[in-house]
Amino acid sequence: MRADDPLVLGFQVAGSTAVPRQRAPRRLDAVKRQVSVPAEVWQRLEAVASQLGTTPNDLLVRFANSGMAQAERLGKTRQVAEARWAAFNAAESPRDGGSSVPSIDELVAAAEAYGSDE
């Protein structure tokens, strides 16, 4: 493998060649659970794990962690979008009988909502 080979879930991937299997990392803070995995998914996990040089179980945990991180980012993005929409809706407009120039408080609220990157 070369340094510029792409990464998949933290593994370097060199084309489609199989990598010698490494022992999966020991997770000392882990909780053991039995999970039923559809046969088709398990076969795909085995194929990808052999290419990455790890175990199907390790790959399944990495996919689960990746999916949870993505779900958390989506939740935060949704919260920011709702805050921005609320700030937009709260601002008075001339057609609603409000002034044509927003107040300082409206500007601050809109700037805080629109400027948040979290």
Question: Is position 45 within any domain?
Answer: yes
Percent of the chain with pLDDT over 90: 25
pTM: 0.56
Judge whether 7 and 60 are in contact, CB under 8 Å: no
Give the C-alpha separation, 25 to 42, whole Å: 19
Question: Is position 26 within any domain?
Answer: no
The pLDDT score that the predictor gives to residue 45 is 93
Backbone dihedral angles phi then psi of residue 100, each to the nearest 5 degrees: -80, -15
Split into its structural domains, the chain has a count of 1
Question: Is position 46 within any domain?
Answer: yes
Question: Is position 32 within any domain?
Answer: no
Element spanning 43, H or E: helix 39-52
Helix (H, G, I), strand (E, B), or coil: what is residue 32?
Answer: coil
The pLDDT score that the predictor gives to residue 30 is 76
Residue range(s) defining the domain that contains residue 63: 7-16+37-115
Give the C-alpha separation, 118 to 112, whole Å: 11
